[in-house]
Structure 1
Amino acid sequence: MSKYEKDILNTVNLRGRVSVTELAEILQVSDQTIRRIVKPMVEDGRLSKVHGALVSTQNVLDPPFMARMEKNRAAKVAIANAVADRILDGAAIAIDTGSTSGYVAQALRARKNLTVVTNSAYIAAILAMTDGNRVFMAGTQLRNHDGAAFDRAAFDVIASVSVETAILSASQVHPSRGFMVFDQCEADMAAAMKHAAERSFMVVDSTKFSASGSSPALLLPELLPDDLIVTDRRPPPEFRELPGQAELVIADMQR
């Protein structure tokens, strides 16, 4: 399998569905080149083609991650743009595996010469295709539902780097307990990325601010005065006293 075939298969499997034009932009080749490369991949069943788009045949990857990518899409795009506005060309960043972080990665394609470390194959695939970027994939064993790595190799890579900004996400925000996730590995990775960074951006859409419902059990590291919380809407009054002292940034939904 060629490098282009691997990149195409990885991108399509993690997104579920990608247009030929978008793949050509990501790989920085022509539409004709993409069509030539994917023709045998469609013929042997590795991919499916529908109305100018390529569709993953590995359905196990689609529901959890792609459903999260599509949920509250407009809000996540606005948050991503607000984050990208605060990242300069040449910056060094760590990015976690959240769906909002995936949109941040897409927005960061407008930046140049980034150094990126991530444990998300989806994010690595997006940013590695931008000329001038240096992208380090943390980990070797990927989870089958979101293409994320949490093995020992992933933590070793994060521990070895120093970055300016960590882009973190959460499963839920509680008014008194703060930012939370379901899995211990995700809490540990957030702590490792925060430790490696000078500052952190917590990216969460407004639906994550909830005082009720099924609460994740694990707390993320408390945010500090230099950190930012980037969301699409001002949280309800009960969230005014969130733990930590991070600045709140409301993304512009009209962009």
Structure 2
Amino acid sequence: MLNRTSNTPTAPLSAEDRVRLILELVVEQGFQSVDSLAIRFGVSTQTIRRDVNALCDSRMCRRRHGGIDIFHDAENVHYSSRRILHHEAKLHIARCVAEAIPDGASLFFGIGTTPEECAQALVKRQGLRVMTNNINVALALTRNASCELTIAGGRLRNPDGDVVAGEAHGFFSRFSVDIGIYGVGGVAEDGSLLDFSHDEVRMRTELSSHCRERFLVLDHSKFGRRATVRGGHITDASCVFTDSPPPPHITDMLNERGIKLIVAQTLPLPSPAVFSQGEI
């Protein structure tokens, strides 16, 4: 694990861990030069170039002269990259979400890797009824024999494994469920929710309009992250699940509106009684 207060790792890293940390640096800080990465990780520039090649060949990042950078803000990070970014944080968030969902609940799942992790954490929950436009969520929950699954129809976005195009519009409005679980591309300074396409925003807005409780799930990197399409606000959620305390002004917004905040990394896991079947 990279020491946040130092420019060098605390212990020798495997190639896999080093690539993951390079990806996190590029996503959070932008362009990284080969030379600076070699110094930071205490390896040769040749080793870093191999790491850069691996990230770029898999379309997780793009090459720039002397280093590596993320794709333009108009594009989200490739799904395969997002799956490994802040993975431990997403696991903590997913465990908290799973503890808050009772057997027999009806659920919406939106797109993204954090909702996918939440679905993975629910494979042993009994009697769930799930509606989703996220194929990765559906595949995860097929391992739960007691789960009833309904999937949105329409054109599939192959790299992301989701359905957000016009054919899927109106899918969530056909149902009314206990809890909607959704992520977001970014959260602006004023608390606005941001995504990368109008279709993504429309599907998320429809999802949140037809559930009794709204669980927004996002890791710390989403606060202040730029994306191009605005829709909804963080205070529209019933409960916000994250892994580190949000910026103070965001926390103040949530407190003022009485929105429950679960910080998975610093708070004990909530009991299943957080939302009982009677409350939802």
Are residue 247 (structure 1) and residue 260 (structure 2) matched? Answer: yes
The separation in 1 between residues aligned to 2:169 and 2:106, in whole angstroms, is: 17
The 5 Å alignment of 1:132-211 reads: 132-210=146-224
Determine which of 142, 145, 150 is the counterpart of 1:131.
145
Q: Is the 8 A contact 1:199 1:226 kept in 2?
A: yes
Q: Is the 8 A contact 2:215 2:237 kept in 1?
A: no
Equivalent position of 1:86 in the other structure:
100
The separation in 2 between residues aligned to 1:177 and 1:84, in whole angstroms, is: 25
The separation in 1 between residues aligned to 2:59 and 2:134, in whole angstroms, is: 17
Q: Is the 8 A contact 2:193 2:234 kept in 1?
A: no
Equivalent position of 2:4 in the other structure:
none
Aligned-residue offset at 1:241: 4.0
User: 1:100 and 1:229, CA in 2 relative to 1: closer, same or farther beyond 3 A?
Assistant: same
User: 1:225 and 1:148, CA in 2 relative to 1: closer, same or farther beyond 3 A?
Assistant: closer
| Partner SS for 1:248 | strand
The separation in 2 between residues aligned to 1:162 and 1:239, in whole angstroms, is: 29
Determine which of 81, 86, 99 is the counterpart of 1:67.
81
Equivalent position of 1:27 in the other structure:
none
| Partner SS for 1:109 | coil
Are residue 217 (structure 1) and residue 228 (structure 2) matched? Answer: yes
Instruction: Structure 1 unaligned segments of length 5 or more: list them.
Output: 1-58
Q: Is the 8 A contact 2:184 2:194 kept in 1?
A: yes
Q: Whose radius of gyration is greater, 1 or 2? A: 2
The separation in 1 between residues aligned to 2:218 and 2:146, in whole angstroms, is: 29
Q: Is the 8 A contact 2:201 2:231 kept in 1?
A: yes
Report % sequence identity. 26
Normalised TM-score (structure 2): 0.63
The separation in 2 between residues aligned to 1:96 and 1:232, in whole angstroms, is: 19
Equivalent position of 1:236 in the other structure:
247
Q: Is the 8 A contact 1:60 1:144 kept in 2?
A: no
Q: Which amino acid aligns with 2:93?
A: I
The separation in 1 between residues aligned to 2:170 and 2:247, in whole angstroms, is: 39
The separation in 1 between residues aligned to 2:165 and 2:236, in whole angstroms, is: 31
User: 1:142 and 1:226, CA in 2 relative to 1: closer, same or farther beyond 3 A?
Assistant: closer
Aligned-residue offset at 1:225: 7.4
Q: Which amino acid aligns with 1:251?
A: A
| Partner SS for 1:78 | helix
Aligned-residue offset at 1:139: 1.8
| Partner SS for 2:244 | coil
Aligned-residue offset at 1:103: 0.4
Alignment coverage as a number of residue pairs: 193
> Quick check: 225-234 or 186-195, which moved more?
225-234
Q: Is the 8 A contact 1:60 1:145 kept in 2?
A: no
Aligned-residue offset at 1:226: 6.8
| Partner SS for 2:249 | helix
The runs of 4+ residues in structure 1 deviating greater than 6 Å are: none
Normalised TM-score (structure 1): 0.69
Aligned-residue offset at 1:220: 3.2
